[in-house]
């Protein structure tokens, strides 16, 4: 039986990190940096929030450790300044963002702040392990997401 050395573990960790970053990298375009930044952010948000929703709905078997991990990653994402992805002029190019974002950045920013708060709460509630409370907070975070989608996300795009 072979033993894994530190180099093997380091290599496995590097490969794992590269694979996990693929959703974000698939949106990277150095000619449209703000668009790439925000699309990568939202891809990572979906990659963590989607499985939580699936778990709460019973489509994915409950695994508290995974729920904690997804909630932790969402809380970390919530600390990023997504508004730097919405600089003036970045409403052009490859984007699902509606022009209304740039017409009312204050409202958009307040909705993003509400999402940040819900995601921070989601981490705390998830750490408690109460499935009903977690489901309720997943719902609250989902409503915060949807409030932005309703007003600021165009439906017709690449996916």
CATH of the domain at 70: 1.20.120.10
Going from the C-alpha of 52 to that of each of 15, 46, 79, 100, 138, the distances in angstroms are 24, 10, 19, 30, 7
Determine, yes or no, domain membership for 130.
yes
Determine, yes or no, domain membership for 157.
no
Task: Tell me the mean pLDDT in the region 10-19.
Answer: 52
> Containing domain of residue 61, as a range?
6-152
DSSP conformation class of 88:
T
Number of domains in the chain: 1
pLDDT above 70 (res 18): no
Residue 122's closest CA among 47, 57, 69?
69
Please tell me the distance from the alpha carbon of residue 129 to that of residue 149, in angstroms, as a whole number.
29
Determine, yes or no, domain membership for 159.
no
Determine, yes or no, domain membership for 12.
yes
Its pTM stands at 0.76
Share of the chain above pLDDT 90, in %: 64
Task: Tell me the mean pLDDT in the region 1-29.
Answer: 51
């Amino acid at each position: 039986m072979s033993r894994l050395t530190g180099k093997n573990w380091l290599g496995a960790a590097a490969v794992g990190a590269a694979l996990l970053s693929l959703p974000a990298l698939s949106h990277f375009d150095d000619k449209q940096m703000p668009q790439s930044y925000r699309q990568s952010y939202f891809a990572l948000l979906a990659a963590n929030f989607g499985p939580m929703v699936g778990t709460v709905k019973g489509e994915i078997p409950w695994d508290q450790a995974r729920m904690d991990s997804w909630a932790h990653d969402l809380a970390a994402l919530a600390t990023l300044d997504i508004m730097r992805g919405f600089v003036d002029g970045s409403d052009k190019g490859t984007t699902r963002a509606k022009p209304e974002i740039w017409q009312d950045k204050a409202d958009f920013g307040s909705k993003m702040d509400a999402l940040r708060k819900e995601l921070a709460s989601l981490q705390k509630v998830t750490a408690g392990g109460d499935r009903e409370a977690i489901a309720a907070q997943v719902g609250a975070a989902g409503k915060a997401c949807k409030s932005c989608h309703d007003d600021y996300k165009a439906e017709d795009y690449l996916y």
